[in-house]
Chain A
Amino acid sequence: MTRFAIPIAIFIALVVLLGVGLKLDPREVPSPLIGKPAPHFELPRLHESDKTFSERDMLGKVWVLNVWASWCVSCREEHPVLLDLAKSGVPIYGLNYKDKREDGLAWLKGMGDPYRISIFDFDGRVGIDYGVYGVPETYVIDKGGVIRYKRIGPLTPAFVKETLLPLVKELDRA
């Protein structure tokens, strides 16, 4: 019996290891931007193209930056969650990523607009500065302009309730 104990133990350990590996999401690459100042941008707004918006306008406030696009399928799934989040008073700003202006505007008109302001990143440069690789992505930025959290993929009601709202509340108090 002891003769098989060690191989079986190794086998079980391997199965557990591989099992955990299966559950990990390879798409969730840890961002090196966490804890660093949000990269600077100054982009035209989606609605009023003659006005710009910069992350510096938000210094002193806790805010959420959500990267979205009208061509993004998961954004459709995420949209109601964002609308609810906006209703709860969290300031959400949108980064319309590599989209056509008219498509972006039509999307917000048809589905509701959770964003205080959306900015228009036509060539995706600001997206690259923020390490965007899979829309939708969501950043939580604190009063000092430091990125505190990055979520890759759509927000879910559970994530908002268990992670995002508590974090925003905590940062608001700081």
Chain B
Amino acid sequence: MPRAAALLLAALAAAPVVAREAAPAAADPVLEKRVMALAEELRCLVCQNQTLAESNAPLAEDLRNQLRERMREGKSDKEVVDFLVDRYGDFVLYRPPLKATTVLLWFGPLFLLAAGFAVLLRRVRRRRKLADAEVDDADRRRAAELLAGGEPR
């Protein structure tokens, strides 16, 4: 009986220790959600096609910890992102800012699309004009012959 009591006591004493160990991830679900939401927007530098949220690279983990720590200090999302941009450059952003060096990136596709439309429009117009011009009297006569059942050519 005393042994059972001692065991129980030991278990009770150990419980908070165990609980504390599991705590960091679940401690603050709101904060955790914010960390992950922001991490979705940031590129992992080690595996460059993954976000910081999905990457398992040790650096991604460190950087997520940095995000968490800074948010806990009460920094805004923008301040946290700036912290990373200061160190790793715009490359960490999945949505790069609009500036002189990124104009082509932002408007290049739009420009190509517009250029494509312009070319298409010109071609269609020219073809229509040509088609109109090509039907002359000789053509009309031939068409009439064909319709009347005459031998073609």
Q: Give chain A's interface residues, CB within 8 Å of chain B.
A: 26-27, 29-33, 98, 123-124, 128-131, 133-134
Contacts and interface: CB of A to CB of B under 8 A. Distances in A.
23 contacts: A27-B48, A29-B45, A29-B88, A29-B89, A29-B91, A30-B89, A32-B87, A32-B88, A32-B90, A33-B87, A123-B62, A124-B58, A124-B62, A128-B62, A128-B63, A128-B66, A129-B87, A131-B87, A131-B88, A133-B45, A133-B46, A133-B88, A134-B45
A134 B66 CA distance: 18
Given A32-B89, A133-B46, 14 more contacts: A29-B45, A29-B89, A32-B88, A32-B90, A33-B87, A98-B58, A124-B58, A124-B62, A128-B63, A128-B66, A128-B87, A130-B87, A133-B59, A134-B45
Interface in B45-84: 45-46, 48, 58-59, 62-63, 66
Nearest to B88: A131
Interface of B: 45-46, 48, 58-59, 62-63, 66, 85-91
Grouping DSSP codes into helix (H, G, I), strand (E, B) and loop, the B interface class, with mixed when no group exceeds half, is: helix
Contacts of A26: 48
Contacts of B91: 29-30
A128 B62 CA distance: 8
B150 to A, nearest CB: 35
B118 to A, nearest CB: 14
A122 to B, nearest CB: 12
A133 B86 CA distance: 14
Nearest to B60: A133
A2 to B, nearest CB: 15
Nearest to B43: A29
A32 B91 CA distance: 10
Nearest to B83: A128
A33 B63 CA distance: 18
Contacts of B85: 32
Most A CB within 10 A of own CB, among B46, B85, B87:
B87
